Amino acid sequence: MSRRYFGTDGVRGRVGEHPMTVDFALKLASAAARVLAPQGGTVLIGKDTRLSGYMFESAMEAGFVAAGVDAMLIGPLPTPGIAYMTRRFNCDFGVVISASHNLYDDNGIKFFDASGGKLSDALEERIEAELEQPPLTRASRNLGRATRVDRSRTLYQEFCASTLPPGVDLSGLKVVIDCANGAAYKVGPRILADLGAEIVPIGCSPNGRNINDGCGSTAPDLLQLTVPGVRANLGVALDGDGDRLVMVDHLGRIVDGDQLLYVMARALQRAGMLRGPVVGTVMSNLGLEIALRSAGIDFRRAPVGDRYVLSMLRETDGILGGETSGHILCLDKTTTGDGLVVALQVLAVIKQTGCALAELSSAMRKLPQILLNVRVANRFDPGEVPLIQQAVARIEQQLGTEGRVVLRASGTEHVIRVMVEGREEAETRAAATELAEIVKRAAA
């Protein structure tokens, strides 16, 4: 059975358009209750700061309670915080109402199982099958209860702080933190301040509409100006639900997910704690692969999407992986991508080595990477078109061992993504432009 509503990260869409409507949210809650807690149980519900989060929270609360499931409402908290607190409270499952790095017009609903992991495809398919049934309302004696547990957020703050190595704090560091006016706006600054850092908060004043709007990991321009402007050691930028991270060095330069993976992998290697390969994706910069290879660290590539990175880490007994976007998994610390936990690991390396972020990341040279989106009338697999295959083979031969070509169809749009990497930017851009034109001709 193919999934109609669940994508790579839950259900997501434009608020007011199917499926992101109140009636669908209530039906989804009822369906999830029947699959994940058929005999009753407890669900933890968290959200980010979108205006629509309140109505979806209320709709899902009604659906769960009517189906006999107790609902614990924790309010705005990062997605990884919900994963952690689901385990901590021994809930049967957790729910996050968030559209991650999207603007406030969108929203989404994603689930965690009792262990704080994402649901399997099989469970998501079972929930979708239950959507065919009308919402369940049990007799009064079997209804669930709803309670607010907002003050329990401090437990997540304590957990994040506990991931620092013993004896390490953040005293002496001046950090600008940008929370994208999102779910981490309270806990993010508090964690860093409690650990002794001098903080300058930006993007920490949500109004329901300004999440990810000109701020956060997807729009770090203000952070890049602020860090050198206030003479901070570095900047931390999260996305709207706190599971992604990019950083900015003292000169205002972006340090992305690939560079952060390199810094963390080398630190774990030096400490004798790195296990298994480091896992990136087909879109990870070739410079990361080359730098890790030079350091004697195995590197593997998974398909795009953190669930595929997680799957490969489990298959290979690895503990560290992630995406260029800053969605990084530290499986020795937690079960899902957590921007705050990752930031603390990098800050710990800075404190332990006495090196600036710019110095730590400089050993990985990012190769020019040109990504072009080719809009097509109908989705197709570019790898099955002879004209495109021949062009790819020719360009790969031209680029040599320090170049790469990746073509993939978007899973959500009528777009073919053309990515070319190489040593020289001009040559790489020319190759990407040529290949994009060939894809256009093939799609016509």
Tell me the C-alpha distance between 303 and 190, whole Å.
Answer: 35
| CATH classification of the domain holding 410 | 3.30.310.50
- The answer on 167 and 126 residing in a single domain is no
Last residue of a domain, one of 306, 338, 361: 361
Which residues are within 8 A (CB) of 141 and not within 5 positions of it... i.e. 6 or more apart?
none
Indicate whether 197 belongs to any domain.
yes
Same domain, 377 and 262: no
- 30, 52, 98, 100: which is the annotated catalytic residue? 100
- Of 129, 148, 167, which closes a domain? 148
pLDDT digits (tens, 9 = 90+) for 212-242: 999 999 999 999 999 999 999 999 999 999 9
Q: How many domains does the chain have?
A: 3
Q: Is residue 4 a part of any domain in this protein?
A: no
Residue 3 lies in a domain: no
Length of the chain: 444
Q: In this predicted structure, what is the pLDDT of residue 412?
A: 64
Of 234, 145, 156, which Cα lies nearest the Cα of 191?
Answer: 156
Question: What pLDDT shows up at residue 268?
Answer: 98
Domain shared by 378 and 262, yes or no: no
Q: Both 345 and 418 in a single domain?
A: no
Q: What would you measure as the largest C-alpha separation in the chain, in angstroms?
A: 72
Do 299 and 400 lie in a common domain? no
93, 112 contact by CB (below 8 A): yes
In the prediction, which pLDDT does 304 show?
87
This prediction has a pTM of: 0.92
| Domain assignment of residue 405, yes or no | yes
Q: 32 and 162: one domain?
A: no
Question: Do 242 and 352 share a domain, yes or no?
Answer: yes
Q: What is the pLDDT of residue 9?
A: 84
Judgement on whether residues 59 and 198 belong to the same structural domain of the protein: no
Q: What is the 3-state secondary structure (H, E, C) of the chain?
A: CCCCCCEECEEEEECCCCCCCHHHHHHHHHHHHHHHCCCCEEEEEEECCCCCHHHHHHHHHHHHHHCCEEEEEEEECCHHHHHHHHHHCCCCEEEEECCCCCCCCEEEEEEEECCCCECCHHHHHHHHHHCCCCCCCCCHHHCCCEEECHHHHHHHHHHHHHCCCCCCCCCCCEEEEECCCCCCCCHHHHHHHHCCCEEEEECCCCCCCCCCCCCCCCCCHHHHHHHHHCCCCEEEEECCCCCCEEEECCCCCEECHHHHHHHHHHHHHHCCCCCCCEEEECCCCHHHHHHHHHCCCCEEEECCCHHHHHHHHHHHCCCEEECCCCCEEECCCCCCCCHHHHHHHHHHHHHHHCCCHHHHHCCCCCCCEEEEEEECCCCCCHHHCHHHHHHHHHHHHHHHHHCEEEEEECCCCCEEEEEEECCCHHHHHHHHHHHHHHHHHHHC
Asked, for residue 1, whether it belongs to a domain, the answer is no
87 and 217 share one domain? no
**Is 76 in the same domain as 207?**
no
CA distances, 359 to each of 252, 279, 423 (Å): 13, 23, 22
Specify the CATH number for the domain of residue 280: 3.40.120.10
2 in a structural domain: no
Query: pLDDT below 70 — which residues of the chain?
Result: 1-2, 411-412
Residues 378 and 337 in one domain: no
Q: Are residues 347 and 378 in the same domain?
A: no
67 in any annotated domain: yes
Q: Which of 318, 334, 361 is the last residue of a domain?
A: 361
Q: Is 100 among the catalytic positions?
A: yes
Which residue range forms the structural domain that includes residue 78? 11-148
Alpha carbon of residue 64 to chain centroid: 26
In a domain, 389, yes or no: yes
Q: Going by C-beta distance under 8 Å and a sequence separation of 6 or more, which residues neighbour residue 53?
A: 47, 76, 97, 98, 107
